[in-house]
Chains A and B, each alone.
Chain A
Amino acid sequence: MKLFEMTNVIKKYGSRTVLNVPQLQLGQDLIYAILGPNGAGKTTLLRLLNLLTAPDSGQLKFMGVDTAASEATRLAMSRQMCMVFQKPYMFRTSVYNNVAYGLKLRKTGAREIRKRVMEALDFVGMASFAARHAFKLSGGETQRVALARALALRPRVLLLDEPTANLDPASVQAIERIIRNSRDQYGTSVIMVTHNLFQAKRIADQTILLFDGQVVEQQATNVFFTAPKDERTRRFLDGTMVY
């Protein structure tokens, strides 16, 4: 069963069409990288997948079920995924409470919350930061806590919006390791928007190029980078695409 299936999805902001996807299928247990210039519709695509917004027309299915459903059904679906934003918002409390937030919403028992929070923090190498105020973290630490906050929920799919933008190389390396481990250990599917071609090459199983709200190409990453089919992909990769 496909993780996500999009059919004839159109999303507009005002009169401007920001996404127009006739067909897109995303499978389970894979890491996807979504590439594209600014304004290509990458973040809009993530927001649609996370059910933070709905298509203006067309159909989006999650695990075979149409997402155009009741509020309760959409909530149940969205609780199987989690998005980490480019600049994640940390709640005005401790790191521990930040990571526990989603579990409390799901009415998880206190003992299980403690176990899952510490496990998630340990997973991202931030266990010793549990008691620290979340506002006192560096950019890289914030991003790792945001990942822990998502992974503590054991989501079926993790949606990442430029998770390593503006981070130092050590933090980038740490976060890429976390992304790979979350797929390998928990079977979490990852859909990641990135501007970093090397990052896509390093960790993605499949790579997608979005341009002007449309999917230009979707390929296995090695094929995408070595033998792209679309002329626009070739120009994007060699830096000659003018947009």
Chain B
Amino acid sequence: METLSSFWLIQKAEMLEIVRLSLAVSGSATILGSLVGVPLGAWMGMSDFTGKKLLLRLIYTLMALPPVLAGLVVYLLLSRSGPLGAWELLFTPPAMVAAQFLLVTPIVTGLSAAAIAAKERLIYDNARSLGANRRQAMWAVVRESRTGIISGVMTGFGRAFAEVGAVMLVGGNIRHQTRVLTTAIVMETRQGNFELAVALGVILLVLSFLVSSVVLLNADEFTAT
């Protein structure tokens, strides 16, 4: 505990910096992933088209994408010799956001599609029968599936917030620049500071709990059933 309290006293500012960056990177990746994933999932959940099953299988496969592989893809894109090398984004927070975006988007898409498809016909028909046009009925389906969609977004955030492989690869765990909670845990463990590593893990879990609590604060539908 001595290690932990001395670390907290001496490096409080650095700790807050790590927490802030962790939340900013994973939060941005989740928001961007949701902006793509929710509409894509809604479209897949409500549409019937050739190749839909194949596309769903592909998305479900990507839901299990290893973070280190996502990191590798972004690394190859952003490395100096890569197609986007000129942007000079490797080992910066935007690169970390891009890598986590690749992890979050399939999760949000797949879970949104599943949530919407579950009751899509029932909700759509009820809304249409009550006088909704196509667009209004589709919106009713999305709105009524929000519990599943929010769960998908939260799962995506959890995935991003807890992963280490992608951010380590494209961020590099650079002090004051790209160090986040998970990469800090890896570093402290390697240095034998197990107490501190565990404490960082607890902070990560507490933050995850707080984020979930804020998101679900007014989501009465989680308790209404």
A-to-B contact residues, CB < 8 Å: 47, 50, 52, 71, 75, 78-79, 82-83, 85, 87-89, 91-92, 101-102, 105-106, 133, 135-136, 149-150, 153, 159
Whether a CB of chain A sits under 8 angstroms from the CB of B126 is yes
Whether a CB of chain A sits under 8 angstroms from the CB of B62 is no
Residue A92 contacts which of B126, B133, B136, B224 (CB distance < 8 angstroms)? B224
B-to-A contact residues, CB < 8 Å: 119, 122-123, 125-134, 136, 140, 143-144, 146-147, 220-221, 224-225
**What is the chain A residue whose CB lies nearest that of B134?**
A71
A to B CB contacts below 8 Å, 19 in the list: A52-B125, A52-B128, A52-B129, A71-B133, A71-B134, A75-B133, A78-B128, A79-B131, A82-B130, A82-B131, A83-B129, A85-B126, A87-B122, A89-B126, A92-B144, A105-B132, A106-B131, A135-B221, A135-B224
Q: Are A136 and B133 in contact (CB under 8 A)?
A: no
Report Cα–Cα, A75/B125, bound state, in Å: 13
Q: Are B224 and A78 in contact (CB under 8 A)?
A: no
Q: Are B224 and A50 in contact (CB under 8 A)?
A: no
Question: What residues of B have a CB within 8 angstroms of the CB of A50 in the complex?
Answer: 129
Tell me what chain A mostly uses at the interface: helix, strand, loop, or mixed.
mixed
Report Cα–Cα, A150/B134, bound state, in Å: 19
Report Cα–Cα, A102/B132, bound state, in Å: 7
Question: What residues of B have a CB within 8 angstroms of the CB of A150 in the complex?
Answer: 130
Q: Are B131 and A153 in contact (CB under 8 A)?
A: yes
Cβ distance A56 to chain B, nearest Cβ, rounded Å: 17
**What is the chain A residue whose CB lies nearest that of B130?**
A102
Residue A82 contacts which of B122, B129, B134, B220 (CB distance < 8 angstroms)? B129
Report Cα–Cα, A159/B126, bound state, in Å: 12
Question: What residues of B have a CB within 8 angstroms of the CB of A71 in the complex?
Answer: 133-134
Q: Are A135 and B225 in contact (CB under 8 A)?
A: yes
Interface centre among A102, A105, A135, A153 (most CB of B within 10 A): A105
Question: What residues of B have a CB within 8 angstroms of the CB of A159 in the complex?
Answer: 129
Cβ distance A85 to chain B, nearest Cβ, rounded Å: 6
Contact A85/B125 with A92-B144, A133-B224 known, Cβ cut-off 8 Å: yes
Report Cα–Cα, A83/B221, bound state, in Å: 26
**What is the chain B residue whose CB lies nearest that of A149?**
B130
Report Cα–Cα, A159/B131, bound state, in Å: 14
Contact A102/B119 with A91-B144, A133-B224, A135-B225 known, Cβ cut-off 8 Å: no
Q: Are A101 and B130 in contact (CB under 8 A)?
A: yes
Question: What residues of B have a CB within 8 angstroms of the CB of A101 in the complex?
Answer: 127, 130
Cβ distance B52 to chain A, nearest Cβ, rounded Å: 17
Contact A105/B221 with A88-B126, A89-B126 known, Cβ cut-off 8 Å: no
Report Cα–Cα, A79/B133, bound state, in Å: 10
Contact A136/B224 with A52-B125, A91-B144, A92-B144 known, Cβ cut-off 8 Å: yes
Cβ distance B49 to chain A, nearest Cβ, rounded Å: 17
Residue B131 contacts which of A52, A105, A136 (CB distance < 8 angstroms)? A105
Q: Are B136 and A105 in contact (CB under 8 A)?
A: yes
Question: What residues of A have a CB within 8 angstroms of the CB of B128 in the complex?
Answer: 52, 78
Question: What residues of A have a CB within 8 angstroms of the CB of B130 in the complex?
Answer: 82, 101-102, 105, 149-150, 153
Cβ distance A82 to chain B, nearest Cβ, rounded Å: 6
**What is the chain A residue whose CB lies nearest that of B145?**
A92
Additional pairs, 6, CB under 8 Å, beyond known A79-B131, A136-B224, A150-B130: A82-B131, A83-B129, A85-B122, A106-B131, A135-B221, A135-B225
Report Cα–Cα, A75/B224, bound state, in Å: 33
**What is the chain B residue whose CB lies nearest that of A83?**
B129
Report Cα–Cα, A83/B129, bound state, in Å: 6
Q: Are B125 and A78 in contact (CB under 8 A)?
A: no
Report Cα–Cα, A136/B139, bound state, in Å: 23
Report Cα–Cα, A153/B132, bound state, in Å: 12
Report Cα–Cα, A106/B221, bound state, in Å: 26
Report Cα–Cα, A83/B126, bound state, in Å: 8
Q: Are A89 and B122 in contact (CB under 8 A)?
A: yes
Question: What residues of B have a CB within 8 angstroms of the CB of A136 in the complex?
Answer: 224
Interface centre among A52, A82, A92, A106 (most CB of B within 10 A): A92
Report Cα–Cα, A82/B140, bound state, in Å: 17
Please give me the 9 A-B residue pairs with the lowest Cβ-Cβ distance, nearest first.
Answer: A102-B130, A83-B129, A89-B126, A79-B131, A105-B131, A135-B224, A92-B221, A102-B131, A89-B122
Report Cα–Cα, A78/B137, bound state, in Å: 13
Question: What residues of B have a CB within 8 angstroms of the CB of A87 in the complex?
Answer: 122
